Amino acid sequence: MSLRTLAIVGAAVLAMLGPAMLAAQSVGSYNAVTEQRLLNPEPQNWLMYRGNYSGWGYSPLDRITPGNVKKLAPVWSFSTGVTEGHQAPPIVNDGVMFITTPQQQVIALKAKSGDLIWRYKKELPEDLLQLHPTNRGVALWEDRVYVATVDAHLIALDAKTGAVVWDTTVDNYKNGYYFTLAPLVAKGKVMVGTSGGELGIRGYVAAFDARDGKPVWKTHTIPGPGEPGHESWQGEAWKTGGVSVWLTAHYDPQLNLTFWGTGNAAPWPGDMHPGDNLYSSSVIALDADTGRIRGHHQYHWNDSWDWDEVSTPLLIDFKKDGRLVKGLVHPGRNGYLWRLERRADGIRFVDAKPFVTQEVFTKIDPVSGRPSYDPERKPRSGAAVTFCPGLWGGKDWTPAGYNPKTNYLYIPANENLCSTLVGQAGPYEPGKLFLGIDRPKTTMSWRQGASHIGELQAWDMATGQRVWTHKFPYQNWGPILTTGGGLVFLGGTNDRNFRAFDAKTGTPLWEYKTNSGITGVPSSFAVDGVQYVAVQSGWGVDAQRMQARLDTFLGTKTDVPQGGVVWVFALRD
Amino acid sequence: MRDSPGGPAPVAWPGRRTVLTLALGVGVGLPLARLGGAQDSSARGARPQPNDRFVLAAGERKGRLITLADLPSGGAPLTAYPKDATSGVVRDDSRLNQILLVRLDPRALDRDTSARAVDGIVAYSAVCTHTGCDAWDWQPASSTVKCPCHFSEFDLKASARVLNGPASRRLPALPVKVADGLPVVAGAFIGRPGFESGGG
C-alpha cells in the first residue's frame, strides 16, 4: 500500500470514527440548574460544594446502609493525569459529573459510565507560584459551570461543551492573590474569596454577575480606614494583614446572608500586627445582594498560631436551654467546637468547648465567647514558643459533616500535635512569603504519651456532647460525607484507604485501598435509581506537608504516592 | 507562554458596597503601570546571558551589585537577578530569573558542578521545580537548600539534585565565572527554570 493510499484509508477510518467519538463526548440533554433547584437540591444530585447551602455534606440517599456497605465496590475510575491535592467533590447534575483538579482542569464525565464528555485545561502562567496546588471544585448555575483559578481568574464554562463563556481576571497573581475554593452561586451572583494569607495579601470576598462576569460587589475582610473594625489594626498592618478566604460560604436564603470563614492575620506572630485584627479568624455574614457585613464573630483575636478559621460554619438548628437556636456550628482550627446563633441583626455566641487538647486558651467569656490566652503559649518575636494544637490546628480545611437523621456533627480531627515557632520579622515584598518566623526553627512534635493523631468524632447536636470517637494512628485529612443510609465516608489517612463508618455508633464497616491518599471531598448521587459514592484520590498540599513534618520528627520516610483518580463506588449485585 | 510584564489587568471594581446597575464597559480593566519602559522589556524578561552580573534580588540592598566579597565560604546563599553588563538592565521582569548564588567548599563539589563553578561559587535557579516557590531555608551542614513551601530539598554540591520531598527535578544550574573581579554568568541555565504546571 502506497503512502498516499494509506493516507486516504486513514482519513476514511477517521471519518467513520469521528461521529462516534463525538457522540461519546456529547452530553445530550442538560438540566439547567435553577435558583429553585439550588435551594432544594434533589436527593439524586450533588449540585454544590457541600451538597446544600447549609454546608452539611449530607446526601439523603439511603440505598447503601450499614447492613450492605460491605458490598460496596468500584464501578469506574478516571485518571486526571496530574499530581498534588485533588480536593474537589464530584459535583453531579442529573447524570453529568464535574470535577476540578490541581493545575486548573475542569472535567465533565458521564456519572454512570465514567465516559469523558469534555475536559477544560487552563493554560497557567509559567511564573506562577503555587503554595496550595489544588482546586476545591465548581459551582453550577443554569447551563454554566464556574471555576475560580489559581492564577486569580473566575471563569464560566458551557456545561455542555466546556467552552469558555466568560473569563474575568479578578486579581494579579503576581501579588500573591489566588483562588482555591469552589465558588458560591446564589441569587444570580458568583461569589469567591481570595487565598494568599502567607503572601501578605489583604483578603476579600467578591461577587460577579453570573451571566457575564461583571463585578457586582467586593468586601474586604480587613476593614479600611473609616470602616468599623479598622481601629482593631495599628499603623499600616492592615494593608498586608492576610485574612484569606479559603472555602465556599454557606448561605441562609431566609436571612439572605452568606457566611464565610476567614483566615489568620499576617504575618503569623501577633506582636507584628497588634490589636484584635478584625475580621481575622472569624465568621462574617455578608448580605448576598450588597456584600455588606451584617454580623461577625471572631473566634480568637490577634492570631499568632496560623489558626485560619478556614472552614465555614455549618447551618444547623439546635436546642439550647429549651430554645430552638438557628445555629452556626464550627469545629475550629483553634481546637474548639463553636456554636453560634445566626440572626438578621448579627451573630451571637452560644457556647464553645474543646474537641482536642487545647493548651492556649485559659477561659472563654460566657457571654461574648472571647477567649483569654496563656501568654507563654502565644508565639512572638525572638522566642521559641510551643503550643498545642499545632499550626494545622484541631481541624484544618477539611469540612465537617452533619446528618439530620442522627443529629450528629462529624469532625475530622487531629489530636496530640504541637508546633514550635520562633517569631522573626521580615520585610513585605509582593508575592513573597510573609510569615514572620525563623522558618528553619519551626518544628512539629506530639504530646508526651500520645497514642494516636487522627480522629473521626461524632457530636450530638441535641446535647452538645461528644458521642463517639474513632482513632487513626496518623493524621486525618478526610473531608466528611454522611448519608441518609446512616453512614459516614471519609479518606484522609496516609494508607490510601477510603472508609465507611456506622453514623450512629462509629463502627468501621468498610474500606478500600485507592491509588493515593484521599483528601478529596466525597459526594453521593444516583442515576437510574442506583446510589453511587464518589471521591477523588490524590494526596498533596497540607496533608503532604504535615507528613513531611511528621517524618522529620519521627525519623521516618513515608512515601504516599501521588496522582489523581476519580473513584465511583456502588453496591455489587 | 510568556510572562506578562506587570501582571494581568484585574477587573475594575464598582464603588465600595455599591450595588451596580451593570452598565456596558464596567468590567473593563485598567491596565497596570508597566514597571519598565517598552524599550527594554525584552531585555528585562530575557533569561540570564553570558557576562551578566548579579545584583541582590530583595531586601534593603536590593539591586546592589554582588561582589566576590559578598560570597564568603560557608555563607548562606544570596538570591540574585542577572544584570546586563553593557546596558545595565536588571533582568527582573520574570521571577524565573531569580538565581541562588553561594560559595561552597570546592573540594565538596561533584565533577559536573565543579565544571560550572568558579572558586567554589555555584549558581542555580532560585525557583523550586515542584510548585514554583522561591524562598529557601539554608542547611549549612549539608550544603543543601530546603523549600519551606512543601519541603523539597536540593543538594547544591551535586547539581542541585533532589534529596527529599515532592520535587522530581533538580534546580537548573547556571554556569558562573569571574570577570573584572566579579562573579558573572558563564552560560545559560542548564534546563528550564520553574515547574511544569500543565496536566492531563
Domain assignment present for A431: yes
Alpha-carbon distance A83 to nearest alpha carbon in chain B (angstroms): 8
- Grid cell, residue A281, equals 479568624
Domain assignment present for B50: yes
* B141 at interface of A, judged by CB pairs closer than 8 A: no
Instruction: Check: CB of residue B173 under 8 Å from CB of residue B113.
Output: yes
* Alpha helices by DSSP H, A205-257: none
Q: State what percent of residues in chain A have pLDDT above 90.
A: 94
Look at residue A230 and give its three-state secondary structure. helix
Residue entry with cell 504519651: A449
pTM of the complete model:
0.91
Domain assignment present for B165: yes
Domain assignment present for A210: yes
Helices then strands (H, E): number in chain B? 2, 10
Listed by number, the residues of chain A in 439-478 with a beta carbon closer than 8 Å to a beta carbon of chain B are 439-440
Domain assignment present for A483: yes
| CATH classification at residue A118 | 2.140.10.10
Q: How many domains does chain B have?
A: 1
Please, which pLDDT band fits residue B60 given cuts at 50, 70 and 90? confident
Domain assignment present for A4: no
Q: How many domains does chain A have?
A: 1
What are the φ/ψ torsions at residue B115 (nearest 5 degrees)?
A: -65, -25
d(CA A80, CA A520): 13
Listed by number, the residues of chain A in 275-334 with a beta carbon closer than 8 Å to a beta carbon of chain B are 289-292
- Edge-first strand listing for the sheet containing B161-164: B137-139, B144-146, B153-155, B161-164
Domain assignment present for B148: yes
Please give the C-alpha separations between residue A486 and each of A47, A67, A255, A490, A505, in angstroms, as whole numbers: 21, 10, 30, 14, 10
Look at residue A167 and give its three-state secondary structure. strand
Listed by number, the residues of chain B in 34-73 with a beta carbon closer than 8 Å to a beta carbon of chain A are 58-60
Question: Can you give the length of chain A in residues?
Answer: 573
Domain assignment present for A17: no
User: Across the 573 residues of chain A, what is the mean pLDDT of every consecutive 10-residue run?
Assistant: 42 38 60 98 98 98 98 98 96 98 97 98 94 96 98 98 98 97 98 97 98 98 98 98 98 98 98 98 98 98 97 97 97 98 97 98 98 98 98 97 98 98 95 94 92 97 97 97 98 98 98 98 98 98 94 92 97 89
Domain assignment present for B130: yes
Burial class (CB in 10 A: 0-12, 13-18, 19+), A72: buried
Produce one character per residue of B140-170: b if its CB has 16 or more CB atoms within 10 Å, e if not: eeebbbbbbbbbbbbbbbbbbbbbbbbbebb
Name beta bridge partners: A443.
Answer: A420
What are the φ/ψ torsions at residue A496 (nearest 5 degrees)?
A: 75, 10
Domain assignment present for A317: yes
Domain assignment present for A509: yes
d(CA B86, CA B50): 11
Domain assignment present for A15: no
| CATH classification at residue B175 | 2.102.10.10
d(CA A335, CA A20): 55
Closest CA to A208 of B73, B10, B32: B10
AA letter at A535: V
List, in order, residues 6 or more apart from B127 with CB less than 8 Å away: B95, B96, B98, B133, B134, B171, B193, B194, B195
Domain assignment present for B84: yes
* Residue B138 with chain A: CB contacts under 8 Å: 440
The string of pLDDT tens digits covering residues B33-52 is 333 344 467 899 999 999 99
Domain assignment present for B53: yes
Strand A134-135 relative to strand A85-86, pairing? parallel
Q: Which residue of A has its CA nearest to B140?
A: A440
Domain assignment present for B29: no
Domain assignment present for B19: no
Produce one character per residue of A195-218: b if its CB has 16 or more CB atoms within 10 Å, e if not: bbbbbbbbbbbbbbbbbebbbbbb
- Grid cell, residue A276, equals 484584635
Question: Within a 10 A sphere around the Cβ of B50, how many other Cβ atoms?
Answer: 13
Which residue range(s) make up the domain with A245?
30-571
Contact B27 A213 (CB under 8 A): yes
d(CA A104, CA B48): 30
Query: What pLDDT score was predicted for residue B15?
Result: 57
Which residue range(s) make up the domain with B126?
39-185
Contact B165 A548 (CB under 8 A): yes
